[in-house]
Amino acid sequence: MFSRVKIKELLANYTLGDTVTVMGWVRTFRNNQFIALNDGSVLTNLQIVVDFENMDAELLKKITTGAAIKAVGEVIASQGKGQAIEIKAKEVEVLGVCDPEVYPLQPKKHSLEFLREIAHLRPRTNTFSAVFRVRHQLAMAIHQFFHNKGFVYMHSPIITGSDAEGAGEMFRVTTLPLDKLPKTEEGHIDFKKDFFGKSTNLTVSGQLEAELAALALSEVYTFGPTFRAENSNTSRHLAEFWMIEPEVAFADLNDNMDLAEGLLKYCIGQVIEHCAEDLEFLEGRLLDEEKQKPQNERSEMSLREKLQFCLNNDFQRLTYTEAIDILKNSTPNKKGKFNYPIEAWGADLQSEHERYLVEKHFGKPVILTDYPKAIKAFYMRVNEDNNTVRAMDILFPGIGEIVGGSQREERLDVLMARMEEMHIPLEEMQWFLDTRKFGTCPHAGFGLGFERLVQFVTGMSNIRDVIPFPRFPGSAEF
């Protein structure tokens, strides 16, 4: 039964006259004669031509949109436009029926909002099959990039007892009975009676554990799920998402910037090379979407132009201080066009500021460095001015920040002082501090939000549409 040929393979390498077996899902069935079949391996449908006059009438009724079928037939040259071949069916078997009266994916245009409600079925649409194939290609490119450079892939823990970001917006992990929580004499929850004997949560980052590994193996990366219990309902945030976090020993901020720029360009190049058909389709979808926007809100570049733009340009590197000067003196800031006016050094940059720098001022991707210490995490190396840290953010057109990283603080005394400043309990982080006691060295790393990358490469406007089953406030379906 399963000795089938995938549609992608058949379209790429066929011989007229061969008899083949294909399987997939019916997209449309026209005139009781032409089946548009898709098996998810490629965007293009394969046309199956059936001899309806000699086919059982009951079988014909079962060939409906959404049904899974097996077709055996001869590869022939297609008489129709837009396709080189089709299959002249000798045998058709319905593997799984699909009631057209209740099947929600009829052959018509559906809104992305509607498709989010049926996320278990949306991979069958052209848009989402294209997005998820691109997502796959990006994941493979990430592993290949680091493998080629000799990095070790580390699996960091999902359940942790630390908060790498110091944000406190975490999902608690517990087996304690919620209707009768054990309490200490002081009235606090007694986590000593919990499964791990302490308070634990879902990880917000694999970075700290990756640092431990880098200070033994030199070059490592993690690629896994992370969780933020941030009550945000924007098109840019998820409660569960995937992060790529390399950590490199004997590296400074310049090495870090080179690595991140190289990774992004490699991934984009791999998608351009291997997902041409999907990108062409997603570009057309984005153009249709942009037509609904006012002229001033439309992108100046098509999707593939934007990707090529990132490949062809060296990323502009400048300090946060230089960026603030540019933004303060910019026309949008002077005319009050920014929602968050830039008034003084120390402001936390918003997406509108980041996009202005990339799209209007420099016309290329931007790497900002040396941010104020007060708005960055405790583990970033403090500069000699004691006001800024060796941080970096990479900004992309249309999306703003896509990478955040830094040279890490390797000096034990400075790191402990920063942790005390930010009220991070030293006793719970002794394992982390040990790396600064026993053979410390300069090291650096960054985090790349995988869904942000997929969103940029596919042109999807909502991050919930680039992950198969999105998790956000009020939604944990499927």
Dihedral over Cα of 376, 382, 384, 386: its sign = positive
pLDDT tens readout for residues 88-145: 999 999 999 999 999 999 888 899 999 999 999 999 999 999 999 999 999 999 999 9
412 pLDDT tier (thresholds 50, 70, 90) = very high
Answer yes or no: do 94 and 129 share one domain.
no
> What's the CATH number where 387 sits?
3.30.930.10
Last residue of a domain, one of 52, 78, 105: 105
pLDDT tens readout for residues 323-351: 999 999 999 999 999 999 999 999 999 98
Structure-block tokens of residue 112? 């992305």
179 domain residue, yes or no: no
The reported pTM is 0.93
79 domain residue, yes or no: yes
Answer yes or no: do 145 and 100 share one domain.
no
The pLDDT value recorded for residue 168 is 58
Contact 120, 249 (CB under 8 A): no
Q: In angstroms, rounded to a whole number, what is the distance separating the alpha carbons of residues 409 and 419?
A: 11
Answer yes or no: do 409 and 360 share one domain.
yes
182 domain residue, yes or no: no
Answer yes or no: do 303 and 270 share one domain.
yes
**Has residue 299 got a pLDDT over 90?**
no
Q: In angstroms, rounded to a whole number, what is the distance separating the alpha carbons of residues 208 and 378?
A: 12
Last residue of a domain, one of 71, 105, 139: 105
Measured distance between the N- and C-terminal CA atoms of the chain, rounded to whole angstroms:
30
For range 386-399, the mean pLDDT: 94
pLDDT tens readout for residues 224-273: 999 999 888 777 789 999 999 999 999 999 999 999 999 999 999 999 99
The pLDDT value recorded for residue 164 is 59
178 domain residue, yes or no: no
Answer yes or no: do 258 and 362 share one domain.
yes
Answer yes or no: do 99 and 128 share one domain.
no
If one counts the domains in the chain, the total is: 2
Structural domain that includes position 18:
7-105
Q: In angstroms, rounded to a whole number, what is the distance separating the alpha carbons of residues 308 and 143?
A: 22
307 domain residue, yes or no: yes
Contact 455, 463 (CB under 8 A): yes
475 pLDDT tier (thresholds 50, 70, 90) = confident
The pLDDT value recorded for residue 233 is 78
Answer yes or no: do 398 and 319 share one domain.
yes
The pLDDT value recorded for residue 163 is 62
Token pair 């899974």: residue = 68
70 domain residue, yes or no: yes
DSSP 197-222: SS-EEE-S-SHHHHHHHHHHHSEEEE
SS3 (DSSP) at 252 = coil
Percentage with pLDDT > 70 across the chain: 98
118 domain residue, yes or no: no
> What's the CATH number where 45 sits?
2.40.50.140
Per-chain mean pLDDT for the chain: 94
Last residue of a domain, one of 76, 105, 134: 105
Please list the residues that pair with 84 across neighbouring strands. Answer: none
51 pLDDT tier (thresholds 50, 70, 90) = very high
Strands of the 200-202 sheet, one edge to the other: 159-160, 200-202, 172-173
Answer yes or no: do 369 and 254 share one domain.
yes
Answer yes or no: do 347 and 261 share one domain.
yes
Q: In angstroms, rounded to a whole number, what is the distance separating the alpha carbons of residues 358 and 368?
A: 11
79 pLDDT tier (thresholds 50, 70, 90) = confident
Instruction: Using DSSP bridges, classify how beta strands 152-153 and 219-227 pair: parallel, antiparallel or unpaired.
Output: parallel
Answer yes or no: do 227 and 350 share one domain.
yes
pLDDT tens readout for residues 179-227: 999 999 999 999 999 999 999 999 999 999 999 999 999 999 999 999 9
**Has residue 165 got a pLDDT over 70?**
no
DSSP 8-state class, residue 179: T
167 pLDDT tier (thresholds 50, 70, 90) = low
2 pLDDT tier (thresholds 50, 70, 90) = low
Percentage with pLDDT > 90 across the chain: 85
Answer yes or no: do 354 and 421 share one domain.
yes
Q: In angstroms, rounded to a whole number, what is the distance separating the alpha carbons of residues 313 and 364?
A: 6
299 domain residue, yes or no: yes
Answer yes or no: do 142 and 291 share one domain.
yes
